[in-house]
């Protein structure tokens, strides 16, 4: 298990399958997870719409008052919309790009002043869809491909800082949770779609959110001090062929 003793980590999309598992992994590693999502309440400390600049500045000001610094940021908020370039309407395209790409840009931008105080790490939830295309994933592919390259730019900027701020993207394939259920539901035959997902993965199954969270926790930890600017697949071998 990664050691995150005393690290303060902000997680977006923390009500979701992966975001909530990341918060649990940060806490298990000895850190403090600041959970954010569209609505506050329960485990979610702050309402933070990642597309809203004013939300980012409000939450960062609050964290600065409370902790004086930030050690990690995990951009896990995201949506998927299925559709080919011909099927997608412009509003859907913009919504996907806005949440998945603009949201992570704003996160990196607004977290950086607090991360650079003592050095830190950013993990962006990209996807195998940021590495390879799908005929019906035009907007999602574009958003995740953009996020992977944004992560490299942020990493190169962060490497010039003293102390440095690292930034990596991770690229899961199917992960148990509402997002793959939404994908199955939008298929003509949801049962068949559910059955086919694990068959597309060489390891023969979909990932558990905790497996994705463990990689996030490692990349946030000092054990990963020499890893930055990477796109790390966590896909059961999907992109190996
Ligand atoms: N689930 C998968 O199979 C899979 C695979 C590869 C990559 N990913 C990526 O991992 C990330 C997390 O996925 P997940 O499986 O936890 O999805 P999820 O649907 O379980 O959770 C996503 C969370 O993001 C939140 N969110 C949506 N719009 C938001 C906004 N504007 N501001 C703040 N929060 C917002 C939702 O409320 C939700 O809690 C996403 O970026 C997704 O694209 C998921």
Q: What is the pTM of this model?
A: 0.98
Q: Which ligand 1 atom sits nearest the alpha carbon of residue 98? A: 31
Candidates 22, 179, 211: which one to mutate for ligand 1, based on the most atoms within 8 Å of Cβ? 179
Which homologous superfamily is 8-172+207-233 in? NAD(P)-binding Rossmann-like Domain (3.40.50.720)
DSSP classification of residue 44: B
CB 21, CB 183: distance < 8 Å: no
- Catalytic residue of the set 46, 110, 140, 218: 140
pLDDT tens-digit map of 125-180: 999 999 999 999 999 999 999 999 999 999 999 999 999 999 999 999 999 999 99
Report whether residue 239 contacts ligand 1, using a CB cutoff of 6 Å. no
Candidates 78, 81, 171: which one to mutate for ligand 1, based on the most atoms within 8 Å of Cβ? 78
pLDDT tens-digit map of 181-235: 999 999 889 999 999 999 999 999 999 999 999 999 999 999 999 999 999 999 9
Tell me which residue of 171, 108, 121 sits closest to 145, measured CA to CA. 171
140 is catalytic: yes
Percent of the chain with pLDDT over 90: 98
Annotated domain spans of the chain: 8-172+207-233, 175-206
Distance 163 CA to ligand 1 centre (A): 30
Say how far apart CA 49 and CA 52 lie, in whole Å: 6
CB 34, CB 9: distance < 8 Å: yes
Report whether residue 50 contacts ligand 1, using a CB cutoff of 6 Å. yes
């Amino acid at each position: 298990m990664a050691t995150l003793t005393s690290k303060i980590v902000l997680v977006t999309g923390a009500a979701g399958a992966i975001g909530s598992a990341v918060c649990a992994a940060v806490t298990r590693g000895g850190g403090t997870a600041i959970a954010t999502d569209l609505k506050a309440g329960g485990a979610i400390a702050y309402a933070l719409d990642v597309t809203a600049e004013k939300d980012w500045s409000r939450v960062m000001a609050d964290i600065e008052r409370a902790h004086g610094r930030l050690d990690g940021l995990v951009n896990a908020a995201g949506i998927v919309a299925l559709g080919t370039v011909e099927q997608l309407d412009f509003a859907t395209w913009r919504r996907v790009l806005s949440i998945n790409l603009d949201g992570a840009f704003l996160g990196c931008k607004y977290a950086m002043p607090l991360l650079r105080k003592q050095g830190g790490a950013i993990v962006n939830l990209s996807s195998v869809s940021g590495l390879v295309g799908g005929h019906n994933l035009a907007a999602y592919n574009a958003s995740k491909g953009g996020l992977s390259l944004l992560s490299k730019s942020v990493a190169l900027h962060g490497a010039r800082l003293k102390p440095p701020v690292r930034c990596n993207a991770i690229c899961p394939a199917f992960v148990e949770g509402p997002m793959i259920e939404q994908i199955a539901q939008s298929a003509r035959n949801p049962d068949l779609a559910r059955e086919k997902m694990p068959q597309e993965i060489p390891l023969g199954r979909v990932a558990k959110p905790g497996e994705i969270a463990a990689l996030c926790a490692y990349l946030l930890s000092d054990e990963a001090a020499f890893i930055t600017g990477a796109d790390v697949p966590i896909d059961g071998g999907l992109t190996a062929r």
